[in-house]
């Protein structure tokens, strides 16, 4: 578990080391939280283990299983 404030402004990269963007906000949907990522386009990534593989607060990034074209 993380505080939302700790996730804001973290860089988001995928397994191919492509930068998706930066966390700008989080949304509560009832089922789970969703990361709002701003990059070349906006991405909404569910904050669940299937998509969020690692949160590294020390190095300020989140590793996700997510494509740039999703």
Q: How does pLDDT run across 29-53, given as a tens digit for each residue?
A: 998 999 999 999 999 999 999 999 9
In tens, the pLDDT along 50-70 reads: 999 999 999 999 999 999 998
Cα separation, 29 vs 44, in Å, equals 11
Q: Are strands 33-38 and 42-46 parallel, antiparallel or unpaired?
A: antiparallel
Q: What is the pTM of this model?
A: 0.94
């Amino acid at each position: 578990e993380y505080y939302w404030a700790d996730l804001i402004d973290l860089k988001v990269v995928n397994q191919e080391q492509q930068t998706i963007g930066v966390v700008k906000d989080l949304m509560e949907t009832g089922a789970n939280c969703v990361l709002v990522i701003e990059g070349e386009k906006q991405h909404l990534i569910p904050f669940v283990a299937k998509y969020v593989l690692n949160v590294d607060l020390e190095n300020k990034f989140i590793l996700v299983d997510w494509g740039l074209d999703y």
